[in-house]
Amino acid sequence: MAQIILVPATVTTSSVVPFAADLASQLEQHDAIELDLSAVVEADVSLLQLVCAARRQAERDGKSLRLAQPVHDALAALLGRAGFLTDIPSADQNFWFHGDLPR
């Protein structure tokens, strides 16, 4: 069973370090992680970068990192502004949105 991690309400450049340390620790301890992004109300590209890096690390280590649910509208908009949705590979689309892109 996956370890569920509730992502803090604010994950920005100035606040990402404690969450990054917690996520790294959880990835070391567990084979499967589910990130719950539902409480995130303030985020910037540092959250996206951290999630992408953790996802790649999990894959390299033969572990699983997924989202508990598709990203909400505010995070979808952040993904768009950051350029993540331009020619998005299907694996990334499935990761962030659990399938179909939002309209």
What are the structure tokens assigned to 58, written together?
């999990």
Task: Quick: pLDDT tens for 11-59.
Answer: 999 999 999 999 999 999 999 999 999 999 999 999 999 999 999 999 9
* Mean confidence (pLDDT) of the chain: 96
Q: List domains and CATH numbers for the chain.
A: 3-70 (3.30.750.24)
Taking the C-alpha atoms of residue 64 and residue 67, their distance in angstroms, rounded to an integer, is 10
Which of 102 and 10 is assigned the larger pLDDT? 10
* More confident call, 100 vs 60: 60
Show the tokens assigned to 72.
């909400």
Alpha-carbon gap, residue 21 to 16, rounded angstroms: 9
Predicted local confidence at residue 102, as pLDDT: 76
* Long-range CB contact pairs, 92-96, < 8 A, 24+: 95/55, 95/66, 95/67, 96/67, 96/70, 96/71
